[in-house]
Amino acid sequence: MEKVIIVRYCEIHLKGKNRGYFEKIFMMNLEKALVGIRHEIRKPSGRYIVENFDQTRTEEILEKLSRVFGTHTLSSAYKVPAELEMIYDTVKKIAPESGSFKVITNRANKSFPLNSMQLNAEIGGRLLQDFPNLTVDVHAPQHEICIDIRENGDALIFSGHIKGAGGMPVGTSGKGVLLLSGGIDSPVAGYMIAKRGMVLEALHFHSYPYTNMQAREKVEELARILSGYTGGMTLHVVSVTHIQEAIHKHCPAEMMITLLRRFMMRIAERLAEQVGGQCIITGESLGQVASQTIEGMTSSGSVVENLPILRPLVGFDKTEIIERAREIGTFETSIQPYEDCCTVFLPKHPLIRPKTEDVLRAEQKLDVEALLEEAMLSSETVRL
Amino acid sequence: MIYLDNAATTRPDEGAVRAAMHYLQEDFFNPSALYREGFAVHKELEEARRHILSFIAAPVGFDLIFTASGSEADNQALFCTANRGNIVTTAGEHAAIYNSAKELQKRGIEVRFAKLNGDGSVNADDLLSLVDSGTSLVSVIHVNNETGAVNPIAELAKQVKQKNRSALFHSDGVQAFGKIPFSLSSEIDLYTFSAHKIGGVRGAAGLVRKKSVNVHPLIYGGGQEKGLRSGTENLFAIKQFEFAATKKFAALESDYQKIAALNRYFRENLRGDIFEILSSPQASPYILSVSAKGLRGEVLLHMLDDEGVVVGTGSACSSKNRYSRVILACGIREKNADGVLRISFSVQNTMDEAERAVSIFNRCAGALAEKMR
């Protein structure tokens, strides 16, 4: 009797001729998640089976696999030859002592002597005899006992399903540049897009000496948490110190954020060109702060010439974003009190509805190209 | 690098480390063990206790509990003595006292915080007005760790006892021990100090207790330190502390004069149009708190760091915890509280370093002020 883990995937079955491509990438991502842990992954039809794995690390393996995008559900199962007595012996091991239950058989191997209904009845009947405190409830059972009779002559026996992260395998939907601040929103935005199968390269702006090293460490930690879902991540860290100093020196104080955001978007687009990114992802939510009004988004978005900007949180309330951040495990890190971008230069009353002509006029006082080039040269790359 | 954050921690004294190494490598035995090797190191431990205590107190009246940190000693002073009535402390305490007091408050003990004078010393009148017949403990920091203000603890303890004979008096002396001359008077019941502020390594600290004072353990276990602080003794750190302290106390006066000269050089040569000196002339010369007016201290700290000058700041660059609690309690306006830097000296600093550092201070602050205009 061998222990195995069954991994079921999400929407891949919707794919037609592309299915093989999706399955291959999903398999690669599962392998990547288990690097350093002894295991083998097989793919019989419609699911993945992890076997020969280090059983002392079963919980860890389940946790890691459940985070791989594309994973719908997981089950920890026993594998035995598809023979009635052996099946029942195994069922007894996982059966609850009391409460209601239901047996669910899935018979791919049609040569098994009993059909699904018959096997359900047989196993259910034996359980009722051996465990007097059990009752059958086929509609809303407390426990499900699942038996999969496979085509290769094996039976997989398990109880219950562990929910996976869902979504599409990372790598099946292109690549995007995520603007990753140290805040609550941007990691959630990144998570949501990565969940749809996109590879992320994160971009963080710092303003040392106005911001500190702890803030950067925090962003690295956020990227590390996200990389647990995406199977690794590259973080680019770019200094906007001189850009902010120049804006502060030459432009109206209330335009600091508006102009800075435009620089950030330009840098993001240039980085995307360098790394093959196909879009820019931000954690903006409409109206949340001064720079996230529709006018603010228009102003910052207008400098991006060739790429779409994805704002997956645009219609989310802060409380909804916080809820998600807690779910994905970034919240505790995000609320550490380090500033992610300089507040030294931030005006008391930032511009809420920047007008294009004012913005362009202010920007004329800056050598935008030279500042951008300098910022790009400051870029450091961290692989997580 | 010019290291001017000695109030945070000092470089361990090399000679003391060398002399103590054999307690790490050869005489590593457990002082509680019954064989002769264990007993031998037990004797060494007791010798260190007597010796370190003798620097500030008469061994007939006082005892010393070794702890692992000053914070631990402070916690023991607060949590393991005061458990009734009210306790009185100050707004200028180190976090180890301040946050312990806040925790006591949560547990239902009334805690009263005395106001500070502008230099960070406690307002004695306010302190005494808070002491009444229900006061079980008064805790006053000896040398304020942010401004260097020296509280006259002997005098304060005396006045506290005049108001309430049974109130215990504790002082956190972490920034005073081995730096300013004093010895414990009989009115002081409990006193905290720590090794790593005077060339010791981290892991050794102490709570001095008047023998008649009842203290409970904070850490229970094998009954070391007469049952008052369990845990196998860190003999290496304690002996290294003993050696470092011996050196420091032997040179207490001359070091004080030397440090005072460095301190004076900073006071006299930092640009007056940018820097406001917060520490009073009577403060411990080891700590000099300055405010770069209208600038943010942490930004200046980073610029100095890039130039090889390392200083401290009381406040972290964060929106939630922007200003130092102690600096605000001194009555400094928020605008200037933002720019506070703490320069703290050790005897290893030289006048040449002071000259170079002051020049870098002036240059960096000037450049930042220019950028922020």
pLDDT, residue B196, reads 97
Q: Hey, CA dihedral for A79, A85, A90, A91, is it positive or negative?
A: positive
Separation between Cα atoms, residue A258 and residue A291, nearest integer Å: 6
pLDDT, residue B314, reads 61
Span B182-211, average pLDDT: 97
Interface probe for B, chosen from A184, A207, A212, A335 (most Cβ of B below 10 Å), is: A212
Q: For chain B, which domains are there?
A: 14-249 (3.40.640.10), 251-372 (3.90.1150.10)
Q: Cβ A210–B372 below 8 Å, yes or no?
A: no
pLDDT, residue B62, reads 96
Do A274 and A145 belong to one domain? no
Residues of chain A neighbouring B313 (CB-CB closer than 8 A): none
Residue A170 maps to a domain: no
> Which of B302, B320, B371 is opposite residue A212, by nearest beta carbon?
B302
Within chain B, residue ranges assigned H as helices are 14-25, 36-54, 70-79, 95-106, 124-130, 153-163, 235-250, 252-269, 297-306, 325-329, 334-337, 351-372
Q: Cβ B316–A209 below 8 Å, yes or no?
A: no
- The minimum CA-CA distance between B333 and chain A, rounded to whole Å, is 17
Structure tokens at A235: 């973080």
Crossing angle (nearest 10°) for helices A356-363 and A294-301: 40
Q: What are the beta bridge partners of residue A118?
A: none
Centroid of chain to Cα A137: 36
Kindly report, residue by residue over A52-105, the tens digit of the pLDDT: 999 999 999 999 999 999 999 999 999 999 999 999 999 999 999 999 999 999
Share the mean pLDDT of chain B: 94
> Which of A209, A337, A344 is opposite residue B320, by nearest beta carbon?
A337
Do A112 and A258 belong to one domain? no
Do A98 and A141 belong to one domain? yes
Residues of chain B neighbouring A289 (CB-CB closer than 8 A): none
Separation between Cα atoms, residue A301 and residue A306, nearest integer Å: 11
B193 has pLDDT over 80: yes
Q: Percent of chain B having pLDDT more than 90?
A: 88
Report, as ranges of residue numbers, the positions in chain A whose pLDDT lies below 70. Answer: 13, 339-342
Report the candidate in A62, A25, A34, A314 with the shortest Cα–Cα distance to residue A168.
A25
B323 has pLDDT over 50: yes
Residue A362 maps to a domain: yes
Per the CB < 8 A criterion, the answer to whether B131 and B111 are in contact is no
Total domains in chain A come to 2
> Which of A209, A210, A338 is opposite residue B318, by nearest beta carbon?
A338
Per the CB < 8 A criterion, the answer to whether B206 and B52 are in contact is yes
Do A125 and A206 belong to one domain? no
Residue B317 contacts A where some CB pair is shorter than 8 Å? yes
Instruction: Classify residue B1 by burial, with Cβ atoms within 10 Å: 0-12, 13-18, 19+.
Output: exposed
> Which of A209, A249, A338 is opposite residue B299, by nearest beta carbon?
A209
Phi-psi region of B152 (alpha: psi -120 to 50; beta: other; left: phi over 0): beta
Instruction: Classify residue A266 by burial, with Cβ atoms within 10 Å: 0-12, 13-18, 19+.
Output: buried
Do A11 and A128 belong to one domain? yes
Give every CB contact of residue A209 below 8 A, 6+ residues apart in sequence: A241, B299, B300, B301, B302, B303, B305, B306
Separation between Cα atoms, residue B194 and residue B197, nearest integer Å: 6
Residue A168 maps to a domain: no
Separation between Cα atoms, residue A182 and residue A199, nearest integer Å: 20
pLDDT, residue B318, reads 46
- The minimum CA-CA distance between A218 and chain B, rounded to whole Å, is 13
pLDDT, residue B129, reads 98
**Phi then psi for A155, rounded to 5 degrees?**
-120, 135
Question: At residue B136, what is the residue type?
Answer: S
Give the residue on A whose Cα is nearest the Cα of B319: A337
B315 has pLDDT over 60: no
Interface probe for A, chosen from B299, B307, B370 (most Cβ of A below 10 Å), is: B299
Report the candidate in B299, B332, B329 with the shortest Cα–Cα distance to residue B317.
B299
Q: Collapsing DSSP states into helix, strand and coil, what is residue A75?
A: strand
Do A107 and A34 belong to one domain? yes
Residues of chain A neighbouring B335 (CB-CB closer than 8 A): none
Q: Cβ A339–B318 below 8 Å, yes or no?
A: yes
Separation between Cα atoms, residue B78 and residue B97, nearest integer Å: 7
Kindly report, residue by residue over B27-37, the tens digit of the pLDDT: 999 999 999 99
ipTM of the complex: 0.79
Per the CB < 8 A criterion, the answer to whether A165 and A67 are in contact is yes
B239 has pLDDT over 90: yes
Per the CB < 8 A criterion, the answer to whether B357 and B371 are in contact is no
Per the CB < 8 A criterion, the answer to whether B230 and B217 are in contact is yes
Question: At residue B264, what is the residue type?
Answer: R
Distance in angstroms between the alpha carbons of the first and the last residue of chain A: 38
Structure tokens at B156: 């304060």
Residue A145 maps to a domain: yes
**Domain end residue (candidates: A135, A163, A191):** A163
Report the candidate in B274, B232, B246, B257 with the shortest Cα–Cα distance to residue B369.
B274
Span B358-373, average pLDDT: 94
pLDDT, residue B321, reads 61
Instruction: Classify residue A9 by burial, with Cβ atoms within 10 Å: 0-12, 13-18, 19+.
Output: buried
Q: What are the beta bridge partners of residue B207?
A: B65, B192
Separation between Cα atoms, residue B304 and residue A184, nearest integer Å: 31
**Domain end residue (candidates: A120, A136, A163):** A163
Interface probe for B, chosen from A344, A345, A348 (most Cβ of B below 10 Å), is: A344
Interface probe for A, chosen from B296, B300, B317, B334 (most Cβ of A below 10 Å), is: B317
Here the CATH number for the domain that contains residue A39 is 3.30.2130.30
> Which residues, numbered 274 to 313 in chain B, qualify as contacts with chain A under a Cβ-Cβ cut-off of 8 Å?
296, 298-303, 305-306
Q: Collapsing DSSP states into helix, strand and coil, what is residue A265?
A: helix
User: What are the CA-CA distances from residue B101 to residues B94, B109, B222 (Å)?
Assistant: 11, 9, 28
**Domain end residue (candidates: A163, A184, A201):** A163
Structure tokens at A316: 């989310």
Do A324 and A244 belong to one domain? yes
Structure tokens at A146: 């699942």
Residue B334 contacts A where some CB pair is shorter than 8 Å? no
Separation between Cα atoms, residue A252 and residue A241, nearest integer Å: 17
Residue A156 maps to a domain: yes
Do A156 and A180 belong to one domain? no
Query: H or E element: which one contains A229?
Result: helix A213-230
- The minimum CA-CA distance between A226 and chain B, rounded to whole Å, is 24
Per the CB < 8 A criterion, the answer to whether B311 and B353 are in contact is no
Q: Cβ A337–B371 below 8 Å, yes or no?
A: no
- The minimum CA-CA distance between A210 and chain B, rounded to whole Å, is 5
Boundaries of domain holding A76: 2-163
Give the residue on B whose Cα is nearest the Cα of A338: B318
Separation between Cα atoms, residue B338 and residue B257, nearest integer Å: 31
Residue A169 maps to a domain: no
Do A200 and A268 belong to one domain? yes
Do A260 and A111 belong to one domain? no
Structure tokens at A264: 């950030």
Question: Taking CB atoms and an 8 Å cut-off, how many pairs form between chains A and B?
Answer: 34
B316 has pLDDT over 70: no
B17-24's contacts with Cβ under 8 Å and 24+ in sequence apart are B17/B201, B17/B240, B19/B239, B19/B240, B19/B243, B20/B236, B20/B237, B20/B239, B20/B240, B20/B243, B21/B236, B23/B235, B23/B236, B23/B239, B23/B240, B24/B236
Do A330 and A228 belong to one domain? yes
Here the CATH number for the domain that contains residue A339 is 3.40.50.620
> Which of B303, B316, B320 is opposite residue A209, by nearest beta carbon?
B303
Do A103 and A194 belong to one domain? no
Give every CB contact of residue A29 below 8 A, 6+ residues apart in sequence: A68, A69, A70, A169, A170, A171, A231
